[in-house]
Structure 1
Amino acid sequence: MRNACWRPRRESRWTDRVDQAPTRSDGSSAGSSQAQRTAYRARPDTRHYAERVDTVVVAVIILATVLTGTILQRLSGTGVGLVVAPVLALLLGPGFGVFMTNVTTVMSGLLIMFAVWRFINWRAYLLIAPAAAIGAWPAAWLVGALPTAWLSILLGALVVSALLLTAFARRIPEWKSPGAAVTAGFLGGFFNTTSGVAAPVMVIYSRLSRWEQVGFSATLQPVFMTMGIASVVSKLVMGSVEPGEAGSLPFGLLLLIIPCSVGFGLLIATPLTRVVTASLARRLAMVLAAVGGVAAIVR
């Protein structure tokens, strides 16, 4: 009786094939056992090959997405969250995808901030940022409490509704009080933590406060960086996500891809600032975000 229960699965399949091989009239095997063993082991493992291909494809898509978002954010002040969040949510799952979007926001906001430092309105930042940090905590609890399917629907709904509100809120009354900045900061922090997208909230606030574009887009960079830090810290403290949720893509590879993509995006975007208008870049970012938001809902 064959004792094959302890053998690896691959060797058991080989044994079965050898046992079932046709025999000659003298009872010997139709082929050399050693030759059959060598030929079988030489066959590629298609399952592992497919997994490696999937990993490479996902890595390339993430690299291209972060690169595109960084370019658009450098040109218009917004873009990383709008473009990256829906795509990463589809590839990595809504919880971990938004978490990695928050990580990306920290890096992109920090690097772009140095490029636009002299235009930043620090007084406005000090009104918005603390409120954003507070808004991240209830959102982090919500992310941890919702099932994955509902979180994906929430992500898509927030992205699409925020974009629609931004598109149609052209003529809105003026509201320049500190309360408007604090409210925008709290809502932006909440949206950033749940969906990775805070730009529509901030765009609406800029229209309420009649904030000029140069100072607004520059001040958004430290604001987005602070929102990203608050989102990452609150989710880790509350256990809303874990790095192990990256799936087949190694977490270390993600941490390598994202800063490289952000860096390359800034290098590409710097000369483009002379030829591409901020309004065009913002419209493109919103179109891409709308497509991703709808895909997240359908998913």
Structure 2
Amino acid sequence: MTAEMLAAVLIAVAIGAVLQRVSGTGVGLVVAPTLAVLLGPVQGILATNIITAMSGGLITLYVWKYVDWRRYAVLAPAAVLGAVPGALVVRAVPAAWLQISIGALVLLTLVITYLVRTLPHLEGPVTTGLAGTAGGFFNTTAGIAAPAMVVYALVSRWDQRAFAATMNPVFMTMGLVSFLVKVAFGATGPEGLPPWWTLLAVAATVVVATFGGGLVARRVSPGMARALALSLAGAGAVVAIFRGVLALAG
């Protein structure tokens, strides 16, 4: 990994962690398409899983008292059910198609934000469990569980502050589970795990960005932060799809 590539990765991580601290989503949306382009879809999403786990764990320490642990207790185990088939997909599907699917999944998130008023009202443990399973699958295959979680939050009319807080331990668990399942099923790709020194750099960036996100949260509304995250994610998604199409054509 070149110095320029590492700098781009750390910038994406910093932006994602700040947005995650402010609005509850951001790390996967920003980091996944960026790392899929820079590192390739398999290693990029593997790195995203690690980053999501680290950032989710750190931010949880800041928002612990606002976390809805009852919902977490349903979402987290359900994510494991989705992670296993997700790892099998990563091992079997060509890299170009993974890049295209990653970009398409992010764009799906953008579409969902415009369908808020048309979604039905659904609650209960079954709905929560299905959301967790879908999130675990998407997080393992594309590093992005936000579409499933955002839809669930909307249909269940989940309070924004509780949602933003609870997503951190949820994403921490999903990231860790996705990483472990990929290692267990041999779905880490030919490149293997990211270099250990890049993980140290990422960890330091997450710590600083999480602290900075707390300061930003006092001045920037969650809605504004979410809009910025989706805009950046949309740009990254288009690039990921474009590269995937070029790989198929070439």
Tell me, in whole angstroms, the C-alpha distance in 2 between the residues paired with 1:167 and 1:254. 37
Residue 277 (str. 1) matches residue 221 (str. 2): yes
SS of the equivalent of 2:144 reads coil
Long gaps (5+) in structure 2: 244-250
Q: CA deviation at 1:168?
A: 2.3
In the TM superposition, structure 1's runs of 4+ consecutive aligned residues that sit over 3 Å from their partners are: 242-246
Q: CA deviation at 1:243?
A: 8.0
Tell me, in whole angstroms, the C-alpha distance in 2 between the residues paired with 1:97 and 1:276. 29
Would the aligned equivalents of 2:105 and 2:147 in 1 still touch at CA under 8 Å? no
Counting only pairs closer than 5 Å after superposition, residues 220-259 of structure 1 correspond to structure 2 as 220-242=167-189, 244-245=191-192, 251-259=195-203
Would the aligned equivalents of 1:243 and 1:251 in 2 still touch at CA under 8 Å? no
Q: CA deviation at 1:133?
A: 1.3
Could you say if the C-alpha distance between residues 88 and 122 of structure 1 is closer, same or farther in structure 2, counting changes exceeding 3 Å?
same
Q: CA deviation at 1:242?
A: 4.8
Match of residue 20 from structure 1: none
Identify which of structures 1 and 2 has the higher relative contact order when contacts are C-alpha pairs closer than 8 Å and 6+ apart. 2
Match of residue 130 from structure 1: 77
SS of the equivalent of 2:117 reads coil
Match of residue 213 from structure 1: 160
Supply the AA of the counterpart residue of 1:60.
A
Match of residue 296 from structure 1: 240
Larger Rg: 1
Residue 192 (str. 1) matches residue 145 (str. 2): no
Q: CA deviation at 1:129?
A: 0.8
Q: Give the alignment partner of residue 171 of structure 1, picking from 99, 118, 122.
A: 118
Match of residue 67 from structure 2: 120
Render the CA deviation track for 1:37-59: whole Å, top value 9, x for unaligned: xxxxxxxxxxxxxxxxx711001
Aligned sequence identity (%): 47
Q: CA deviation at 1:256?
A: 1.5
Long gaps (5+) in structure 1: 1-53
Higher-helix-fraction structure = 2
Tell me, in whole angstroms, the C-alpha distance in 1 between the residues paired with 2:100 and 2:206. 28
Match of residue 3 from structure 2: 56
- Aligned pair count? 243
Residue 78 (str. 1) matches residue 22 (str. 2): no
Supply the AA of the counterpart residue of 1:172.
L
Match of residue 263 from structure 1: 207
Tell me, in whole angstroms, the C-alpha distance in 2 between the residues paired with 1:163 and 1:258. 27
Would the aligned equivalents of 1:159 and 1:195 in 2 still touch at CA under 8 Å? no
Supply the AA of the counterpart residue of 1:273.
A
SS of the equivalent of 1:116 reads helix
Tell me, in whole angstroms, the C-alpha distance in 2 between the residues paired with 1:167 and 1:236. 37
Q: CA deviation at 1:245?
A: 4.3
Render the CA deviation track for 1:144-166: whole Å, top value 9, x for unaligned: 10111111111111221232123
The two structures have a TM-score, normalised by structure 2, of: 0.93
